[in-house]
C-alpha cells in the first residue's frame, strides 16, 4: 500500500487537477484503492501525478475510478418496490407533484427509473426529477439517454422497455419522452449548494468511501433540503449515521423520513 506521505502528495494533486478533496474519504480505504490503481498502470505516485497533469483522458479515467460509476435501471428491484409502494404514494397523496433529486446519478439509470415510476403512478402530473453527478463525462451519457447495454436494463420489465426505450443493434436508448422527464447537472456533493423544498432525495452507494464526518455533514445537508415529511433513500446495505439525532425516522430498510423540524432539533440540543 502507498505510504502516507505519497498519499498526501496524491491528495494535493488530485484536488488540484480533478477538484476532488480526498480528505473527505476514509484514508485507509482510499490508500488501498489508489495502490491498486498505481499497480495496474505500472506507475509510482509521482508518475501518476505527472500523467494526470498533462493527459486529460488519464485524468478523466482517474475521476471515474474515484467516483465509482456503477449503476443500472431499477438497481435492487426490491428497494425500488419500497419507493413505489411506500414513499411515492404518500408524496403523491400530499402534494400531487413530486420533486426528486438523484444525487450521484452516474449514467442516469437511477433518475430515469424514478421518472418511469412517477409517470406510471401519476402520468398527468408535471413531476420534477433532477439528477446530479461530479463526473462530466458520465453526465453527457446520461443526458444523451444512452447507450445502455442489456445488463443496464435487465431489471426493466418488457412492457416498460418497449414504452420508454429504443433498441439499436445491441444498445438501448431512452426515448425523448423519458429524457425530457429528467434534468441533469454537474454538482459536487462536498462543496456545492443543494436545492431545497424536495419531496425525495436518492443517494445510494455514493458515499461508501467517505469518512463518518463527511457522511454526517452530508446527511444534515440532505435533511435541510427536504420538505417536512420528505423521504431520503439510501443503498440497501447503508445505514444513516445519527438518523434520529438529525431528525429522520427510519421507515423501512434504506428509507428514511424527515419528521422533526430543524428548529426543534436545535432546541433539543
Q: So where are the chain's domains?
A: 4-67, 77-268
Which pLDDT band holds residue 269 (cuts at 50, 70, 90)?
Answer: very low
Q: What are the C-alpha distances in Å from 124 to residues 54, 93, 119?
A: 50, 14, 8
For 2-51, what is each residue's pLDDT tens digit? Answer: 888 888 888 888 888 888 888 878 888 888 888 988 998 888 888 999 99
**Neighbouring-strand partners of residue 28:** none
Predicted confidence at residue 268, as pLDDT, reads 46
Predicted confidence at residue 266, as pLDDT, reads 47
Nearest-Å Rg of the Cα atoms of the chain is 20
Average pLDDT in the chain? 88
Predicted confidence at residue 29, as pLDDT, reads 82
By C-alpha distance, which of 9, 202, 212, 207 is closest to 110? 202
For 45-76, what is each residue's pLDDT tens digit? Answer: 889 999 989 988 888 888 878 776 667 899 88
Q: Has residue 132 got a pLDDT over 50?
A: yes
Question: What are the b/e assignments for 239-256, b being 16+ CB within 10 Å?
Answer: ebeebeebbbeebeebbb
- Model confidence, pTM: 0.82
Residue 5: CB atoms within 10 A of its CB come to 9
Over pLDDT 90: what percentage of the chain? Answer: 52
Could you give the CA distance from residue 81 to residue 87 in angstroms, rounded to a whole number?
Answer: 10
| Mean pLDDT (whole number) for 146-170 | 94
Q: Please, are residues 91 and 231 in contact by the beta-carbon 8 Å criterion?
A: yes
Q: Please, are residues 174 and 165 in contact by the beta-carbon 8 Å criterion?
A: yes
CB within 8 A of 55, min separation 6: which ones?
none
Predicted confidence at residue 30, as pLDDT, reads 84
By C-alpha distance, which of 264, 219, 210, 211 is closest to 241? 219
Architecture label for domain 77-268: 3-Layer(aba) Sandwich (3.40)
Predicted confidence at residue 261, as pLDDT, reads 67
Predicted confidence at residue 21, as pLDDT, reads 82
Most confident of 18-32, 74-88, 196-210, 221-235: 221-235
Q: Has residue 202 got a pLDDT over 90?
A: yes
The x, y and z cell numbers of residue 98, run together, are 413530486
Written in H, E and C, the secondary structure of 57-101 is: HHHHHHHHHHHCCCCCCCCCHHHHHHHHHHHHHHHHHHHCCCEEE
Q: What are the C-alpha distances in Å from 247 to residues 180, 225, 230?
A: 34, 13, 11
In the three-class reduction of DSSP (H, G, I as helix; E, B as strand; rest coil), residue 43 is classed as coil
Instruction: Give backbone dihedrals phi and psi of 176, rounded to 5 degrees, phi first.
Output: -55, -35
Which residue has cell 415529511? 229
Amino acid at each position: 500500500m502507498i505510504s502516507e506521505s505519497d498519499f498526501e502528495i496524491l491528495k494535493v494533486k488530485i484536488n488540484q487537477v480533478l477538484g476532488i478533496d480526498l480528505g473527505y474519504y476514509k484514508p485507509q480505504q482510499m490508500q488501498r484503492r489508489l495502490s491498486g490503481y498505481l499497480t495496474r498502470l505500472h506507475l509510482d505516485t509521482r508518475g501518476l501525478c505527472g500523467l494526470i497533469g498533462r493527459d486529460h483522458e488519464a485524468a478523466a479515467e482517474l475521476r471515474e475510478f474515484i467516483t465509482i460509476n456503477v449503476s443500472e435501471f431499477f438497481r435492487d428491484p426490491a428497494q425500488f418496490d419500497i419507493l413505489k409502494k411506500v414513499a411515492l404514494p404518500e408524496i403523491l397523496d400530499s402534494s400531487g407533484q413530486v420533486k426528486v433529486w438523484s444525487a450521484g446519478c452516474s449514467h442516469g439509470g437511477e433518475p430515469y427509473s424514478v421518472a418511469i415510476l412517477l409517470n406510471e403512478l401519476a402520468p398527468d402530473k408535471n413531476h420534477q426529477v433532477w439528477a446530479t453527478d461530479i463526473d462530466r463525462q458520465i453526465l453527457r451519457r446520461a443526458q444523451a439517454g444512452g447507450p445502455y447495454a442489456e445488463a443496464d436494463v435487465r431489471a426493466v420489465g418488457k412492457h416498460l422497455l418497449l414504452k420508454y426505450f429504443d433498441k439499436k443493434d445491441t444498445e438501448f436508448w431512452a426515448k425523448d419522452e423519458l429524457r425530457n422527464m429528467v434534468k441533469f447537472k454537474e454538482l459536487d456533493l462536498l462543496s456545492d449548494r443543494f436545492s431545497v423544498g424536495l419531496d425525495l432525495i436518492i443517494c445510494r452507494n455514493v458515499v461508501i468511501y467517505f469518512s463518518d464526518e463527511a457522511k454526517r455533514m452530508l446527511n444534515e445537508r440532505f435533511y435541510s433540503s427536504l420538505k417536512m415529511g420528505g423521504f431520503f433513500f439510501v443503498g440497501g446495505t447503508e445505514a444513516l449515521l445519527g438518523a434520529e439525532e438529525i431528525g429522520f425516522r427510519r421507515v423501512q430498510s434504506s428509507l428514511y423520513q424527515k419528521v422533526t423540524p430543524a428548529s426543534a432539533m436545535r432546541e433539543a440540543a
